[in-house]
Amino acid sequence: MRLTQDVFLEQQQKLMMTPELRQAIAILQMSTIELSEYIEQELQENPFLEVKEPEESPESDKVESERESDNKIEDIVEYYNDRDIEYTPTNREESPSLENFLSKRPSLYEHLEFQLHLSSKEEDDLVVGHYLIGSIDRTGYLCVDLKEVSSNLKVPMEKVDEVLSMIQSFHPHGVGARDLSECLLLQLRYYNKENSIATRIIQHHMEDLAKAKLNKIAQALSIPVNKVQDVCDLIRTLDPKPGLQYSSYDEVKYIMPDVFVEKVEGEYVVIVNDLNFPRLIVNNVYKRILHQNDNFSQDAKKYLEDKMGSAIWLIRSIEQRRMTLYKVARSIVDIQTDFLDKGVEYMKPLNLRKVAEAVDVHESTVSRATTNKYIQTPQGLFELKYFFSTGVDSYGSSSKVSSKSIKHMVEEIINAEDSSKPLSDEVISKLLKQKGIRISRRTVAKYRQEMGIPSTMARKRY
């Protein structure tokens, strides 16, 4: 067999991810707050962008406006002829935001360090304290052996124990514990609710407590089961991971609706929230400079062309985002009208494909349009993703029932049960079948766990 090398032409069709396309995709995924911040940044960096004033100038001022524009052009051309082309963001005069005066919440480490310096000024205490605090994880537990601390710092064990006791008195209560039992006992001690029964349950019966085996605990301690339940209720109020109170994952997040839905004269009206960021237009001064002057170098002209193209693409991308978001929200509202009228029990099963077909876009576009977006409805504020759920078959009907609707029914059944005789998953399944919903015991258990509802035994009250 002979191998040869040939050169030939081949025509292919494929989608190229240009920077502009990436920008459009990114803008589609942005929430209202994120887009507002992005626009402010682009206004500072791109001279071709400017904010459209709410009210246009009167026709009588048009000639004067053009005269001022010509003067600006002459000044800018002269400036660029005298200097190298380089754009420096201007400092736009704005009233200071209150956010500039706000401090971020201290971390757990900073919070403990602050308390350490308030509690002791002795050098030995501070050295040991810094070491111990640096060995506390984000959940609040100490992750180092005390003998190792003593050996590394060359200090007596008594000093390490003393400083650890001091740290364990700090806020959040339970911090510096070496295991769950110590963490819970520290909190009971602080709240002055420490007693022998609670101590014995925490030290020896935590596994039975987690599985709600209250009868087993009562038999082991030789006390009434209702007494065990009271103590276990107290233990459940304690925080097993006190350090997370100062975790960055627990920061307060402010939500601004991206879409509003209001009922006007019996019809639902969808309004995209675009009032929180300015209307953008291309700056006519720079536009005329680009088209009327040949005095720039090739680099300067390319810079201006790139900035103008970027400005036009940004304006188009924002408008495309608005239209896509409107169409997707409109489709969801039309499908979930019963939910908006009557509540979660009437929510219909919905997937991305159904909305994509209605809007005539790809499923990935619907996914991006609903990511991190919130909609304000007469039923409350919801994430757009909330309206997508699977369905379960129902008797006597070809339609399916939304899983969210079924979860709501399960929650209502459990809320109405006799706590001394809680219903099993099997019984709940039968009750739902009486309502025409085909659902197995396993599915009931799955939905119950997803909603954080305890098992039958754990819900029993003595």
pLDDT tens for each residue of 17-57: 677 778 888 899 998 888 988 999 999 988 888 888 765 55
Evaluate if residue 284 carries a pLDDT over 90: no
- Give me the phi and psi of 179, to 5 degrees please: -155, 175
- The pLDDT score that the predictor gives to residue 157 is 94
Taken as a whole, the chain contains a residue count of: 462
pLDDT over 90 for what percent of the chain? Answer: 49
Q: pLDDT averaged over the chain?
A: 83
Q: β-strand 380-383 against 374-377: which pairing, if any?
A: antiparallel
CA distances for 46 relative to 12, 29, 90, 385, angstroms: 36, 22, 10, 34
Kindly tell me if the per-residue pLDDT of 141 is higher than 90.
yes
- The amino acid at 89: P
1, two tokens: 């067999």
Any idea which of 266-270, 285-289, 373-377, 444-448 has the lowest mean pLDDT? 285-289
pLDDT exceeding 70 applies to what percent of the chain?
82
| 102 pLDDT above the threshold of 50 | no
Q: Higher-confidence residue: 55 or 152?
A: 152
Instruction: Give the predicted TM-score (pTM) of the model.
Output: 0.63
Nearest-angstrom CA–CA distance, 149 and 128: 8
Per-residue model confidence as pLDDT tens digits over 436-450: 888 889 999 999 988
Average the pLDDT over 120-146 and give the result.
Answer: 93
User: Confidence class of residue 85 from pLDDT cuts 50, 70 and 90?
Assistant: very low
Do the Cβ atoms of 176 and 167 come closer than 8 Å?
yes
Instruction: Return the pLDDT at 398.
Output: 58
The β-bridge partners of 377 are 380
Angle between helices 363-370 and 19-29 (to 10 degrees): 50
CB of 69 within 8 A of CB of 62? no
Instruction: List, in order of start, the domains of the chain with CATH numbers.
Output: 108-248 (no CATH), 259-387 (no CATH), 391-459 (1.10.10.60)
pLDDT in tens, 173-221: 999 999 999 999 999 999 999 899 999 999 999 999 888 889 999 999 9
Q: Specify whether the CB–CB gap between 422 and 413 falls below 8 A.
A: no
Q: Tokens 């005095």 sit at which residue?
A: 295
pLDDT band at 67 (very low <50, low <70, confident <90, very high): low
Going by C-alpha positions, the residue among 201, 205, 165, 207 that lies closest to residue 186 is 165
Structure tokens at 385: 């993703």
Alpha helices, DSSP H only, in 336-362?
337-342, 352-359
371-398 mean pLDDT: 83
pLDDT of residue 77: 47
pLDDT at residue 143 tops 80: yes
Give 165's pLDDT tier (boundaries 50, 70, 90). very high
Instruction: Report the alpha-carbon distance of residue 226 to residue 228 in Å, rounded.
Output: 5
Which has more confidence, 67 or 343?
343
DSSP string spanning 104-138?
PPPPHHHHHHHHHHHH---HHHHHHHHHHHHTB-T
pLDDT band for 59, please (50, 70, 90 cuts).
low
